[in-house]
Amino acid sequence: MRILWLPGWFPSRVDFLNGDFIERHAKAISELADITVLYVIKDTQLQTAKSEIVKEQYGNLTVYRGYYKGKDGGSVFNKIGSVIQHHRLLFRLYYNLRKKSNSFDLCHVHIVLRQSLLALWLKWRFKMKYAVSEQNGWYMPGDRRFFRQNFLFRWFVKKIFNNAAALHVVSNSLGIELKKAGLFTRPYSVIPNVVNTNVFKQASDVNSKDAIGFIAITGDTRHKNTDGIIRSFTAFLKKGYKATLHIAGPNIEDLKQLVQINGVEDNVVFYGAVSNEKVASITQLSDAMIFFTRYETFGCVMAEAMCCGLPVIASRLPVLEENLKEGVDALFVESEDEKGLTEKLIEFAQNRQQFNNDLIAANAKDKYNYHRVALQFMELYQKVLAKED
């Protein structure tokens, strides 16, 4: 089976973390199918040409990254020009493949954004079916940015959803929100994000220690409520507990200042934006993950922590309750309740032996491993191809 992928997010030299969970899906499914990814992004550092195409091959996975010259922000005319450049390069990439006699059985859109226009065109021009995978948080309570977009863009997104042969979401909570918004009214498939269980796994040697290690992953600090984590952790330390908070991810300068203001520099370690391998090693140093997020469509870092055998101290959101169970692999706290989070940190410190780390890791590995998730996608693809128009 040969599948054309059109992701709205994907790792690139512009941002190596953006859409890395989509890349992992691609690597997983490429064990069972030929996947060709076309991804186009503006590169403000591009100097020598109007555009550049970079091809990479990983077994059955072929990735074409197209970069076009542009400026950050700017006027409405600059934004329109950027959209035109984006589609010109994307369509050129596709037609270059067609000239090489490359045909595809199916198209797969990941995140409904501007690149989805090519999928719609392929359906109308060549009768190629397309499936949609969605995991953008802007449909979820706590964000809702999609509903603040202009009418034309919202109409376009709805058009893409309505013409899709199938919809895949990473959580039932997201599927419910898409239905509420009237974007997709038919049944959808729930397939989780995937974890590289060769990287995210239990540490081979676990040293006993008095001090507790927590890990938090940041990015958009408002989204992840990382400043709330730091304040709650500070209150936890003031109760006399010994602990270290490991924070991985970008946008940490303001967080460093908050740590200094609270006087807990000796107890908080910042790593910045690092590779998955480094995140895994930091996770293995820890005893629990703090996931005090305001909204999610799934929560990749949650699944990765569990594959390392860590329980998760998580916001009580329906999407997280789909994959976590109180007292088994999680402690729940109401989102934004910083006092409540401090209490949960204390509860974990006093009762951390209640969690079976081996069982947490085994269950998560069974659920999120590459092969299991790839099989679920292959089943989805087969249903789409067998379905009559």
Residues 158 and 40 in one domain: yes
Residues 162 and 247 in one domain: no
Greatest CA separation for the chain: 68
Q: Compute the average pLDDT of residues 324-339.
A: 97
* Reduced DSSP (H G I as helix, E B as strand, rest coil) percent helix, strand, coil of the chain, to 5: 45, 20, 35
Can you tell me the distance from the alpha carbon of 166 to that of 184, in angstroms, rounded to the nearest whole number? 9
Cβ neighbours of 247 (radius 10 Å):
25
Residues 183 and 241 in one domain: no
Residues 356 and 379 in one domain: no
70: containing domain:
2-194+369-386
Nearest Cα neighbor of 328 from 310, 346, 302 is 310
Is 200 a member of any domain?
A: no
Domain count for the chain, please give it: 2
Residue 379, pLDDT > 90, answer yes
Is 329 a member of any domain?
A: yes
Residues 172 and 292 in one domain: no
Higher pLDDT, 372 or 388: 372
pLDDT digits (tens, 9 = 90+) for 135-181: 999 999 999 999 999 999 999 999 999 999 999 999 999 999 999 99
- In this structure, of 10-14, 31-35, 191-195, 209-213, the range with the lowest mean pLDDT score is 209-213
Residues 118 and 79 in one domain: yes
Name the average pLDDT for the chain.
Answer: 94
E strand or H helix that includes residue 151? helix 151-163
pLDDT digits (tens, 9 = 90+) for 246-295: 999 998 999 999 999 999 999 999 999 999 999 999 999 999 999 999 99
- In this structure, of 200-214, 221-235, 348-362, the range with the lowest mean pLDDT score is 200-214
Helix, strand or coil for residue 54? strand
pLDDT digits (tens, 9 = 90+) for 31-82: 999 999 999 999 988 877 789 999 999 999 999 999 999 877 667 777 888 8
Is 205 a member of any domain?
A: no
Q: Compute the average pLDDT of residues 100-110.
A: 89
Residues 6+ apart with CB under 8 A from 275: none
Is 279 a member of any domain?
A: yes
Residues 311 and 232 in one domain: yes
Can you tell me the distance from the alpha carbon of 183 to that of 161, in angstroms, rounded to the nearest whole number? 6
Is 202 a member of any domain?
A: no
Residues 190 and 243 in one domain: no
Q: What is the CATH number of the domain that holds 324?
A: 3.40.50.2000
User: Taking the model in full, what pTM does it have?
Assistant: 0.92
Residues 356 and 219 in one domain: yes
Is 15 a member of any domain?
A: yes
Is 339 a member of any domain?
A: yes
Residues 37 and 138 in one domain: yes
Is 207 a member of any domain?
A: no
Q: Compute the average pLDDT of residues 346-362.
A: 96
Q: What is the model's pLDDT at position 210?
A: 66
Residues 42 and 125 in one domain: yes
Residues 346 and 257 in one domain: yes
